[in-house]
Amino acid sequence: DTEVTQTPKHLVMGMTNKKSLKCEQHMGHRAMYWYKQKAKKPPELMFVYSYEKLSINESVPSRFSPECPNSSLLNLHLHALQPEDSALYLCASSQDSTGVNYGYTFGSGTRLTVV
């Protein structure tokens, strides 16, 4: 299995809703990442988990809450989002937290719309 699987593929939520994005990989990768990508822009790093511990938080607002229940799963809990948070949310994994040796494997993303 050489994939990163993200669910759901599309999500529409209201500003008072609570929802979660899910990411799963079974490649034995020990680092997992959340990226946010706005239209016509490159992905922007949000969080890095290395060996199931949060190692980087790129000053992301607290309405985004990551969770890594085990080495194969990564969640992103969403609460009280704003319309400007609408974007494509990409999950990625790599063998280790540097990601340099083999690059990142990306999922196909969750396209989030906040109404």
- 85 conformational bin, left if phi > 0, alpha if psi -120 to 50, beta if neither: alpha
Using the CB atoms, write b or e for 11-29: b if 16+ within 10 Å.
bebeeeeebebbbbbeeeb
Q: Of 65, 72, 95, 105, which lies in the binding site for other proteins, with binding defined by CB under 8 A?
A: 105
Give backbone dihedrals phi and psi of 96, rounded to 5 degrees, phi first.
Answer: -140, 180
| Shortest CB 101 distance to other proteins, Å | 8
- Binding residues for other proteins restricted to 39-78, rule: CB under 8 A: 40-43, 45, 48, 56
| Shortest CB 3 distance to other proteins, Å | 9
Residues that bind other proteins (CB under 8 A): 33, 40-43, 45, 48, 56, 88, 90, 92, 98-109, 111
